[in-house]
């Protein structure tokens, strides 16, 4: 793909934010402009992102932006995260020399039951929401649990560093938590049946990157695991029924 600089044909001013073909208004002379792109790669979108297809079915599943020379493959595979999330998306990108690999997997959903009739049983599925039960973890602990699940294969394991998520600009976690509380509060108010009560007790939004060094099959490797955890705690029960115990749980 050839990247093109887009300028207004009337006044010559540069057009910013042009990533897709379509009609745009010049911010300088207010002319209406139709923008199109030359694109020799049928799998690459006008904004430079590659279209990724499921390697089993050929179904279009996502778009990614990669450096020149990198290749990528993607797949959808069955993994029941919840009743509404029966699949997991996995994408792997490889550098031209295959020395670097970036892997992305879509998120998981868990329920941490705090109080209520149904007890928390780690690893079992909650029948109300059809999600696996797992105690809430902070991003560092969750990243370590992912790495430790593979560490039996490695030697000379050491933690190199802990860093924020590689985002520019950096994520405002406090603001994101507030936005989550506001959104979930609105949804809860509209979906709570008559005669029941429910409220958002708190929200959690945090991320971290853990970097590990290790040896595998005679070679030295470095792995970075970036984790973002978003959760909210709900309590509720039946109004006016003293014998109905309140429930409290964390969805994350």
pLDDT digits over 10-26, tens only? 887 887 777 677 788 88
Q: Are 135 and 229 in contact (CB under 8 A)?
A: no
Whether 160 and 87 map to the same domain: the answer is no
The model's pTM = 0.74
The residue segments making up the domain with residue 81 are 49-106
Whether 175 and 250 map to the same domain: the answer is yes
Q: What does the pLDDT read at residue 81?
A: 66
The total number of structural domains that make up the chain: 3
Whether 64 and 185 map to the same domain: the answer is no
Mean pLDDT value across residues 231-248: 78
Q: Are 246 and 236 in contact (CB under 8 A)?
A: yes
Whether 126 and 231 map to the same domain: the answer is yes
Whether 202 and 248 map to the same domain: the answer is yes
Whether 150 and 102 map to the same domain: the answer is no
CA–CA separation, 231 and 236 (whole Å): 17
Whether 43 and 69 map to the same domain: the answer is no
Q: Are 200 and 234 in contact (CB under 8 A)?
A: yes
Strand pairing class (50-53; 32-35): unpaired
Last residue of a domain, one of 106, 139, 172: 106
Sequence-ordered alpha helix ranges (H) in the chain: 139-148, 173-191
Whether residue 240 has pLDDT greater than 70: no
Top-confidence residue, 36 or 231: 231
Last residue of a domain, one of 12, 28, 48: 48
Phi, psi of 112 (to 5 degrees): -110, 100
Q: What does the pLDDT read at residue 241?
A: 56
Q: Is 39 helix (H, G, I), strand (E, B) or coil?
A: coil
Whether 156 and 172 map to the same domain: the answer is yes
Whether 37 and 123 map to the same domain: the answer is no
* Closest to 230 (Cα-Cα) out of 252, 208, 209, 207: 252
Indicate the pLDDT class of residue 83, thresholds 50, 70 and 90.
low
Q: What does the pLDDT read at residue 1?
A: 34
């Amino acid at each position: 793909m050839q990247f093109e600089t887009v300028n207004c044909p009337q006044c010559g001013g540069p057009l910013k934010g042009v990533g897709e073909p379509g009609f745009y208004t010049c911010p300088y002379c207010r002319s209406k402009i139709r923008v199109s792109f030359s694109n020799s790669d049928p799998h690459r979108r006008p904004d430079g992102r590659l279209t990724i297809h499921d390697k089993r079915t050929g179904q279009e599943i996502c778009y990614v932006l990669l450096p020149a020379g990198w290749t990528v493959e993607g797949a959808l595979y069955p993994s029941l995260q919840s009743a509404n999330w029966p699949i997991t998306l996995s994408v792997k990108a490889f550098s031209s020399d295959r020395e670097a690999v970036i892997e992305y997997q879509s998120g998981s959903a868990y329920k941490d039951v705090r109080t209520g009739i149904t007890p928390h049983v780690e690893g079992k599925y909650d029948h109300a929401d059809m999600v696996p039960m797992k105690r809430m973890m902070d991003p560092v602990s969750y990243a370590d649990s992912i790495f430790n699940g593979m560490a039996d294969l490695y030697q000379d394991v050491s933690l190199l560093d802990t860093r924020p998520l590689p985002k520019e600009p950096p994520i405002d976690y406090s603001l994101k938590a507030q936005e989550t509380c506001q959104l979930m509060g609105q949804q809860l108010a509209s979906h709570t049946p008559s005669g029941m009560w429910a409220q958002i007790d708190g929200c959690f939004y945090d991320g971290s990157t853990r970097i590990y060094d290790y040896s595998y099959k005679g070679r030295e490797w470095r792995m970075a695991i970036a984790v973002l955890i978003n959760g909210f705690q709900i309590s509720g029960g039946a109004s006016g029924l003293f014998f109905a115990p309140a429930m409290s749980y964390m969805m994350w």
